[in-house]
Amino acid sequence: MIRRYRKFVLLLIISTLLVSQPAIVAAKEQLASKPVQLKVFLAPFLSFRPFSMAVEEGFFAEQGFEIEFVKVSEAMALQAMARGEIDVWAGIYTAGYLNAISRGANIRVVAEKGHFAPDGCPSFGLLARKDIAESAKQPDQQLMQGRRFDVKIRSFEEYFLDKFLSQIGLEPDQIEKIVVPPPAQMSALEKRRIDFMVTTEPWLTRIIRSGHGVLWKRVQDVIPDFDYSFVRYGPSILEKNPEAGERFMVAYLKGVRQYNQGKTARNLEIMAKHTRLDKDLLRAACWAQIRNTGQINPQSKLDFQDWALATGLLNNKMPLEKMWEPRFVEYANRVLKSGQ
C-alpha cells in the first residue's frame, strides 16, 4: 500500500513538472525580452560620443538595454554611483575618485575612454593667451612664473600641468591656479583674466579659431600614452548584475569601433545630433583617441596615484586590482572576436 502511494506521488510530481515546464520557459523568455534599464552618466565632451553611437545604431538595444543618460556634475555622479543610483560613470581621472575607493566605495575602472597617443591630434592642450604666445617662441620659467592658469584641480589636468612646470624648472606654487568653466574660457582669455589654460575639445578649437589663444603645449608631449578618461561600474553592476556589465561592454566597444571609423557622414550626423555642434567645427576638432579593445594602460593609474600621494590629495596607496576590473573588456573582446 505504501509503495503504491509513493509511486502515485512520484507520478503526480513528474506530471506537474511536465505541465508547468512550458510556463516556466515562457516566463523566462518574457523576462529575457524585457529591456534592462541602466543609468549612465553623460557629459558634453566628444569622448562620450561612443555612447551616443551605441544608442543610435542600436548596439545597446540588441544587448537588451534601455539607457537613461544622467547629466549631473562629476562630484554628484560619483556620490550617486557609490550609493548604487547610477550604474555606469565615465569621466576623467581625479583624486576624488581614488579617495572614494580608498574609503571603501565599490567602484572600478572597467574600460578606457580616452588616452594621449603620441602621434595623435591634441584633444587636450595647454593654450596661451595670444599676446603672450607672440612674445616668446617657447615656454620658459621666466615667462610663466606668477601667471594665472585655468586648470581643473585634483584631476589629471593638474597632474599634467605640474609635470610640464617641472620640465621648465617651476614649482606648482610659483603660478596661480584658478578654475574657469569651459563656456567662459574664451571671454577670460579675451579680457586677460587668465594667461594660460588647460582645455579640451570643442573649446580648444573654438578658442584657437577665435584668435584669443594659441596651442602652447600638447598634453601627449608631456604624458604620452596616458589614459585620462575611463568607464567605471558601481555596485549595482559589480555586485548585483555583472552579466549586464558584460553585455554593456559589448555594446560600448561596438560604439567605440564605429567612433574610430572617424569623421564619416554617419558619425558626423550622430555627433552633431548629440552635441548640437556645427559639423564644420566637428570636422576641425580633434576627436579623442580611444582604443578599440577598451584595454587600459595600467601605468597611467599608478603614476597618477603616485602624484596624488605626493601632493597630499590621497592618503593611502592602493593596489591596481582595487581600482581596475579587466574581466568585462576581456569578455567583450572575446564576444566581438567570435562574431557573436
The answer to the question of residue 88 being in a domain is: yes
Pairing of strands 88-92, 108-115: unpaired
Residues near 67 by Cβ (< 8 Å), separated by ≥ 6? 37, 38, 40, 51, 55, 60
Pair (235, 250) in one structural domain: yes
Residues near 247 by Cβ (< 8 Å), separated by ≥ 6? 63, 64, 65
Pair (70, 159) in one structural domain: no
In the chain, DSSP assigns E strands to: 36-41, 65-70, 88-92, 108-115, 124-129, 148-150, 176-178, 196-200, 213-218, 227-233
Last residue of a domain, one of 155, 186, 221: 221
Pair (128, 109) in one structural domain: no
The answer to the question of residue 9 being in a domain is: no
Q: Residue 55 corresponds to which cell in the numbers above? A: 544608442
Measured CA to CA in angstroms, residue 198 lies from 37, 177, 302 at distances of 36, 11, 22
Last residue of a domain, one of 196, 221, 246: 221
Residues near 212 by Cβ (< 8 Å), separated by ≥ 6? 129, 130, 186, 189, 190
CB 249 within 8 A of CB 113: no
| CA nearest neighbour of 324 among 5, 31, 107 | 107
Pair (216, 234) in one structural domain: no
Pair (283, 332) in one structural domain: yes
Angle in degrees, CA 194, 195, 199, rounded to 5: 80
Pair (176, 58) in one structural domain: no
Angle in degrees, CA 112, 114, 118, rounded to 5: 120
* Cell 610640464 found at: 164
pLDDT tens track of the chain, all 340 residues?
444 444 544 444 444 444 444 433 333 443 456 889 999 998 888 899 999 999 999 999 999 999 999 988 877 888 888 888 999 999 888 999 999 999 999 999 999 999 999 999 999 999 999 999 988 877 788 899 999 999 999 999 999 999 999 999 999 999 999 999 888 999 999 999 999 999 999 999 999 999 999 999 999 999 999 999 999 999 999 999 999 999 999 999 999 999 999 999 999 999 999 999 999 999 999 999 999 999 999 999 999 999 999 999 999 999 999 999 999 999 999 999 986 6
Pair (235, 326) in one structural domain: yes
Q: What is the pLDDT of residue 208?
A: 95
Strand partners, 198: 126
The answer to the question of residue 140 being in a domain is: yes
Pair (214, 239) in one structural domain: no
* Cell 584633444 found at: 123
Query: What's the CA gap between 212 and 119, in Å, rounded?
Result: 26
The answer to the question of residue 102 being in a domain is: yes
The answer to the question of residue 22 being in a domain is: no
Strand partners, 176: 148
Q: What is the residue-wise DSSP string for 34-63?
A: SPEEEEEE--SSGGGHHHHHHHHTTHHHHT
Pair (93, 217) in one structural domain: no
Last residue of a domain, one of 182, 199, 221: 221
CB 126 within 8 A of CB 194: no
Q: What is the pTM of this model?
A: 0.86
Burial (CB count <10 Å: 0-12, 13-18, 19+), residue 109 = buried
Which domain, by its residues, includes 154? 124-221
Q: Which helix (H) or strand (E) holds 188?
A: helix 185-190
Q: What is the pLDDT of residue 139?
A: 79
**What is the CATH number for 135?**
3.40.190.10
Q: What is the pLDDT of residue 340?
A: 60
Pair (278, 212) in one structural domain: no
